[in-house]
A and B are shown apart, each in its own frame.
Chain A
Amino acid sequence: MELDGDHEDGADGSGVKDSSLHVVTPGEVITNDTAFMRGHGTYIENEKVVSSVAGVVDRVNKLISVRPLHTRYTGEIGDVVVGRITEVAQKRWKVDVSARQDAILMLSSINLPGGVQRRKQESDELQMRSFFMEGDLVVAEVQAFFGDGAYSLHTRSLKYGKLRNGSFISVPPALVQRCKSHFHSLACGVDVILGLNGYIWVSAHVPQNLDEIDTELVYSNKNKDITPRDRESIARVGNCIRALADEFIFINDTIISFAYE
């Protein structure tokens, strides 16, 4: 179920969408009632709750907030995100996840090749580029926040890690809903990873048997050979996703399959 309800949660609870959408613009007074608490997207001036962004008003009991329509990704702990490495620093990588600040992937948060439980050594710190280089794409999970709001990511699971054999698409983050799994395998032989930050990875299907994954090859940079038919499927799925994003339709695996047919 969507966490941030995309219909106004009014006292009537009917969730009727069209007529009850309360759109506000910056500087517009939402309410004069001092009983309400203010949430995101608002500020208080002279005891009035005023909107600071253009968006839809969300009222949950006594909390009023405004959801802007275009915004950068703001994440929760446990979100699956796709990001691009922008910088290799001392014992960490900086990852661009289309948020306010680059996220941080610590060396201690990745699986080192040669076994999941292998201990970190000095030499690992010196050859960080052999794991992730600038420009690589990774799928990771948000582990925690730093004090200044930057996300800390981890790839401590065999389904996370470096991405290959596919292509990258960027959509507005608001269109990707939270669901049980973000790794989908479509009927046409294409895998889709929906990052909650709006970054999506479409790739050729790799039969995943978790017991047999060769941990030595987790950080390889070689793509496998992809047939032209697979490439066409990948491109077609990519175009479906772009078309859905242009029309501001929520993106999940069922709707992508539906658009593909």
Chain B
Amino acid sequence: MSRAELLSPEGLRIDGRRPAELRKITSTTCVLSQADGSAYLEHGNTKVLAAVYGPREARHRALVLHDRAILNVELNVAPFSTGERRRRSKNDKRLLEMASFVKQTFEPVVIATLYPRSQIDIYLQVIQHDGGTLQACINATTMALIDAGIAMTDYVCACTAGWVEREAAIDLNYIEESSDTSEVTIAMLPKSSKITLTQMESRLHVDKLEEVFRLAGEGCKQMYEVMDKTIRDRAEDLARKMAV
């Protein structure tokens, strides 16, 4: 398999983007009528569906906390989501790990003390996987939680960034991820610039760290603009309908 050139001499990436450019983002909320909140998010070709149920009666009495809600995240990747059809079991270690990342990302942000003795369930479904699944899951969860009316201190915006050949780039797609680039995912609260999740599995030279992080931060701010616009449009639309 010939190694594709990840960064052209003009500075364009393999899909024609500039290094600091995000993919096209499409987002909708309230896609599932049965869930309390739901969102569908697309980062280019990566498509994720998030459903939030709650706060509702906890399933396992033993896990109930008397003063706050517990967060439960389940991640499911469809077998047709990658290039090769592969069925993943529910207890796949990788999926459980990603689900626990999402849970840890939201635990400090959701004001769980408002909902004692209840449970908030977050179900994520990856429909198409083209790089940046964790960032898409986190962003979709944010929108679904807001759609469900669950109190949060701020949005959580996530963005991947990495070092592609000679430059730092954000929002890596599948081809860039699977080749020799180092990739870091950052989840940030845009208002205070506080970071709730940093995740990296590869190796990154410390000299490049600052640039990559800075670019990821800017990517998160851009994500925030897009997500906020969707939520605000929908909220205004609903508010106008219900005020009639």
Q: Hey, which bits of chain A sit against chain B, CB under 8 A?
A: 6-7, 17-18, 21, 23, 25-27, 41, 43, 45, 50, 52-56, 68-72, 86, 94, 96, 100-102, 148-150, 174-175, 247-250
Contacts and interface: CB of A to CB of B under 8 A. Distances in A.
- Specify the main secondary structure of chain A where it touches its partner: loop
Nearest to B224: A27
A72 B153 contact: no
A170 to B, nearest CB: 9
Contacts of A55: 149, 235, 239
A27 B153 contact: yes
A96 B154 CA distance: 30
A249 B244 contact: yes
Given A96-B57, A148-B117, A249-B244, A25 B66 contact: no
B189 A43 contact: no
Nearest to B57: A102
Contacts of A250: 242
B242 A174 contact: yes
Interface string B147-161: 111111111000000
Q: Which of A53, A71, A102, A149 has the most CB of B within 10 A?
A: A53
Contact of A248 (B146, B148, B242): B242
B155 A27 contact: yes
A70 B244 contact: no
A249 to B, nearest CB: 7
Contacts of A21: 236, 239-240, 243
Contact of B154 (A6, A27, A71, A86): A27
Most A CB contacts (10 A, CB to CB) among B155, B189, B243, B244 go to B243
B147 A70 contact: yes
B231 A54 contact: yes
A53 B241 contact: no
Contact of A53 (B66, B151, B191): B151
Contacts of B239: 21, 23, 55-56, 69
B66 A148 contact: yes
